[in-house]
Structure 1
Amino acid sequence: MQALPLALMAFVFYLAAASWQGLALVRRVPPRDLLVRGLGALAAVFHGLIAIGLLVHEGSLLPGFSTSAVLATVLAVIILLCTSLFKPVLNIATALFPFAGIVLLLGTEMPTPTNTNGMTAGIALHAVSSALAFAVLAIAALQAILVGIQNKALKHHRIRGVVQSLPPLTTMERVLFEMLWVGLILLSVSIASGFVFLHDMFAQHLVHKTVLSLLAWLVFATLLLCHYRLGWRGMRAVRWTLGGYIVLLLAYFGSKFVLEILLANP
């Protein structure tokens, strides 16, 4: 399979969808949700084919850095497209789609190691729940950025432009916390299955990922608990969401990047 031509086609579709949604967000063109979803879905098809090809090449559901990035972004795109059918989250495509396209282009050009480790049902559960948790929480982080922009604009009485196109702040925050709940549940499954089914954590260089994943879980759990007990919302919720996601990003990709890119043998 020639990955680069597919990646280029996916990038073009991603860019077209994001451009239209971005122009609609600043009220330069009318909203066309069906068009944005259609272009995004076409891009996701090509993206998904490349991700499957990379997984088959590596022979493992615990892939390397570049394959993990390609897989995580296509899952985030698919989840966003599906969620947008029920929740007002399609504006996130303005940032997510171009980022997914860039990751895809870079991922197809980076070397991918082969892996002959056996795959059990338990490890598959861990891998799938990890990827889904990362994708859902990525969307939550982008939603938090929009909430932060909207919150600051309303605080300074600037209600034109982007803010005028967004749903009400209460709706935006409700969607954010719903995403955080789903992401926390998936992250809990990922961590629990990792403890049960993964062995020789130190030998597999998984100790850093485990510690950081637990720290991210603690950040998200604290935020959700304090939201429902103490009413945390607004910029505090935005900061905690972004902080937790940065920790999760380091957990999922920090060690892979150091081991496979920085410390790789020439």
Structure 2
Amino acid sequence: MQALPFATLAFVLYVAAAIWQGMTLLRRVPPHPGIVRLLGALGLLMHIPVVIELVSQAPGLLPGLTTSATLLMAVVVNLLLVASLFKPVLNAAIALFPLAGLALVMATWLPSQGRETGLTPGILLHAASSALAFAMLAIAAAQAVLVGLQNQALRHHHIRGIVQSLPPLTTMERLLFELVWAGVLLLTLSIVSGLVFLDNIFAQHLAHKTVLSLAAWLIFTTLLVGRYRFGWRGMRAVRWTLWGCALLLLAYFGSKFVLEILLNQN
């Protein structure tokens, strides 16, 4: 299979969906979430065969940087599409859909090598919960950016533009914390399954991921405790969410980037 045409088509569909949702947010076109979901779903249909092709071509069971990125972004897109049927999270597609398309195109141009690892049901549970945690908290990060923009606009009495298109700030913040709650539960499952099923979660090639994942878990948990005990909200919630997501991003891709890109080691 020629992966590049599928990746390019997926990129176009993702960008089209993001543009439509962005134009909706700017009140340039009427809201049609069904169109955004359809374009996103079609992009995902083009995305999945490329992921399968990339994973099957990798010599190891544990994919490298670019393949891991496009695999995780497929999970993000799928989770976002499903969640949008129940919660008003589709605005996150403005950022996440183009990122998914970009990761896909980069993976076809720069395929990464995997490495061997023993694949057991426990490790599959760890991998699945890690991917879902990353996807949920990536959506939370996009939601946090929207909450931050809305908060700043209201603080400066700018009530036109995207503020008029977004739900009330209290609703946006409640949704942000729901996403963080779900993400923390999945991240907890990921960490616990890693402790149980991986031989040594603090081994050299896993130490950075473990430490950074635990640090991210601590940040998100502190945020939730602060919300419950002290009523944290607004820009404080935005900053803590983004810091936690930044640490999680480093945990998932930091060492892969250093080894595969900077040091050119597979």
| Band of TM-score, shorter chain | over 0.9
Instruction: Give me the TM-score of the superposition, normalised by structure 1.
Output: 0.96
Query: Scaled by the length of structure 2, what TM-score is found?
Result: 0.96
The residue aligned with 1:232 is 232
- Seen in structure 2, the aligned counterparts of structure 1 residues 24 and 219 have a Cα distance that, compared at 3 Å, is same
Q: Work out whether 1:220 is the aligned partner of 2:220.
A: yes
Q: 2:34 matched to which residue of 1?
A: 34
Instruction: Give a deviation string over 1:112-161, Cα, whole Å, max 9, x none.
Output: 21434331001111111111100110000000000000011111111101
Distance 1:10 1:227 in 2: 39
Read off the aligned partner of 1:49 and give its amino acid letter: P
Tell whether 2:110 aligns with 1:99: no
Q: Which amino acid is the alignment partner of residue 14 of structure 1?
A: Y
Local SS of the residue matching 1:62:
coil
Label 1:157 to 1:212 Cα distance change in 2 as closer, same or farther (>3 A): same
* Distance (whole Å) between structure 2 residues aligned to residue 61 and residue 218 of structure 1: 30
In the other structure, the counterpart of 2:7 is: 7
Give the conservation status (yes or no) of the 8 Å contact 2:54–2:111. no
- Which residue of structure 1 lines up, in the alignment, with residue 157 of structure 2? 157
Letter paired with 2:155: K
Counterparts of 1:40-119 in structure 2, within 5 Å, are 40-58=40-58, 62-119=62-119
* Other-structure match for 2:136: 136
Q: Which residue of 2 aligns with 1:121?
A: 121
Q: Which amino acid aligns with 2:127?
A: A
Percentage identity across paired residues of the two chains: 64
In structure 2, relative to structure 1, the CA distance for the partners of 1:255 and 1:115 (3 Å cut) is: closer
How many Å separate the matches in 2 of 1:202 and 1:132? 22
On the 8 A contact 2:202/2:210 being kept in 1, the answer is no
- The amino acid that maps onto 1:3 is A
For structure 2, the residue ranges without an aligned partner over 5 or more in a row are none
Root-mean-square deviation over aligned CA pairs: 1.5
- SS state of the match for residue 205, structure 2? coil
C-alpha separation in 1, matches of 2:4 and 2:195: 37
Aligned residues: 266
Unaligned runs of 5+ in 1: none
CA contact (8 A) 1:62 1:127 kept: no
**Hey, what's the Cα distance between the residues in 1 that align with 2:132 and 2:35?**
25
3-state secondary structure, aligned to 2:22: helix
- 1:248 matched to 2:254? The reply is no
Q: Stretches of 4+ moved more than 3 A in 1?
A: 59-62, 200-204
- What secondary structure, in the 3-state scheme, does the structure 2 residue paired with 1:115 have? coil
2:79 maps to a residue whose letter is I
How far the C-alpha of 1:93 sits from its partner, in A, is: 0.9
